[in-house]
């Protein structure tokens, strides 16, 4: 019996040792990250560089002493539409995939920070919000592990709120600028899915919500203009309406504006304009 316990003990120690010595599957891509970041750091030091607008004025270059890094002004929330966090980490460390986000939040609430907040992620793609395009240049991307149809876990939302709190404070991001991928890419993207708790987020100060008590819709009210004021790209009405409903009227998958939607929009416009 004693021998058996001893043997089991040895196996257990062996397992711990193997785990401790197991190579980090991302050791190589972590090195690639550092290398790439170093290249950009070099670019920052050597300004003006060959492709900069200031090149033709190089001879008269005078570096100011007063500057800082550009800061993100939007937070864009996504669902991964993949089957596991592991799958997403693999995709985001595969150069040919050309996609990434600053944060990935797994079902158990684990947060993987994958990119310095001050660097540009590849998460938004072709997108527009108000008159802002190239949202990648001005935003933080947060991907939540979700196959696209399931609810989000409490652990994910709790972790998300911790990340959002830090981002809002660190970069002074306005309440209105916490948005979803579908909001900035109507007709192209539908994430995060309709289970996402936007109302709960707005109660904590991330994004606006509405209160339609006592809202009277006047006859001249134009719902599409209202969507445009909020930020939606209204090039195609039905796409804009679909994205709006995914965020604000989650139990309605139609692409038509109802009277109750008009009330919601009237109240929202006051907050966004
Ligand atoms: Zn997305």
Q: What is residue 47's predicted lDDT score, i.e. its pLDDT? A: 81
pLDDT of 56 above 90 = no
The answer to whether 143 is a known catalytic residue is: yes
Is residue 99 within 8 A of residue 77, CB to CB? The reply is no
Q: What is residue 46's predicted lDDT score, i.e. its pLDDT? A: 84
Q: What is residue 184's predicted lDDT score, i.e. its pLDDT? A: 98
DSSP the chain: -HHHHHHHHHHHHHHHHHHHHSPPTTHHHHHHHHHHHHHHHHHHHT-S-TTSGGGGGGGG----S--------EEEEEE--SS-HHHHHHHHT-GGG----SEEE-TTS-EEE-S-TTSPPS-S-S-EETTEE-GGGGEEEEEE---SSSPPPHHHHHHHHHHHHHHHHHHT--GGGEEEHHHHSTTT---S-TTS-HHHHHHTTSS-----TT----TT--HHHHHHHHT---SSHHHHHHHHHHHH-TT---SS--HHHHHHHHHHHHHH-
Centroid of chain to Cα 252? 24
Burial of 92 (0-12, 13-18, 19+ CB in 10 A): buried
pLDDT of 123 above 90 = yes
Band of residue 22 on the pLDDT scale cut at 50, 70, 90: confident
CA of 34 to the centre of ligand 1 (A): 25
pLDDT of 9 above 90 = no
Residues in the chain, how many? 273
Q: What is residue 55's predicted lDDT score, i.e. its pLDDT? A: 72
Catalytic site residue from 39, 143, 155, 203: 143
CA of 101 to the centre of ligand 1 (A): 9
Structure tokens given for 181: 């991928």
pLDDT of 223 above 70 = yes
> What are the φ/ψ torsions at residue 259 (nearest 5 degrees)?
-60, -35
Could you give the CA distance from residue 164 to residue 123 in angstroms, rounded to a whole number? 17
pLDDT of 16 above 70 = no
For tokens 């972590």, name the residue: 30
Percent of the chain with pLDDT over 90: 83
CA of 134 to the centre of ligand 1 (A): 14
CA of 21 to the centre of ligand 1 (A): 36
CA of 188 to the centre of ligand 1 (A): 10
Q: What is the pLDDT of residues 61-93, one digit of tens each?
A: 888 999 999 999 999 999 999 999 999 999 999
> What are the φ/ψ torsions at residue 206 (nearest 5 degrees)?
-120, 100
Centroid of chain to Cα 201? 14
Could you give the CA distance from residue 74 to residue 49 in angstroms, rounded to a whole number? 28
pLDDT of 229 above 70 = yes
Q: CA 271 → CA 226, 231, 266, distances in Å?
A: 11, 12, 9
Band of residue 52 on the pLDDT scale cut at 50, 70, 90: confident
pLDDT of 14 above 70 = no
Band of residue 1 on the pLDDT scale cut at 50, 70, 90: very low
- Work out the average pLDDT over 235-249: 98
């Amino acid at each position: 019996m004693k021998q058996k316990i001893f043997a089991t003990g040895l196996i257990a120690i062996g397992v711990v040792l193997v785990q401790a010595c197991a190579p980090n599957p991302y050791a190589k891509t972590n090195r690639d990250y550092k290398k790439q970041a170093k290249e950009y750091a070099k670019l920052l030091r050597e300004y003006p560089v060959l492709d900069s607008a200031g090149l033709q004025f190089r001879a008269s270059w005078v570096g100011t002493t007063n500057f800082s890094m550009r800061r993100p002004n939007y937070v864009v929330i996504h669902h991964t539409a993949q089957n596991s966090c592991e799958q997403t980490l693999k995709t985001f460390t595969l150069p040919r995939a050309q996609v990434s986000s600053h944060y990935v939040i797994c079902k158990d609430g684990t947060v993987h920070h994958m990119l310095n907040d001050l660097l540009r992620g590849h998460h938004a793609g072709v997108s527009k919000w108000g008159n802002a395009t190239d949202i990648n240049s001005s935003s933080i991307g947060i991907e939540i592990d979700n196959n696209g149809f399931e609810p989000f876990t409490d652990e994910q939302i709790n972790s998300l709120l911790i990340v959002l709190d830090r981002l809002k404070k660190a970069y002074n991001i306005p309440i209105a600028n916490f948005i979803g991928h579908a909001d900035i890419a109507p007709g192209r993207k539908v994430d995060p899915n309709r289970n996402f708790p936007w109302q709960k987020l707005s109660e904590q100060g991330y994004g606006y919500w509405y209160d339609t008590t006592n809202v009277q819709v006047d006859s001249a009210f134009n719902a599409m203009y209202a969507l445009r004021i909020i930020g939606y790209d209204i090039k195609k009405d039905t796409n804009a309406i679909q994205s709006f409903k995914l965020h604000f009227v989650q139990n309605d998958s139609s692409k038509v504006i109802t009277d109750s939607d008009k009330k919601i929009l009237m109240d929202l416009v006051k907050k966004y304009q």
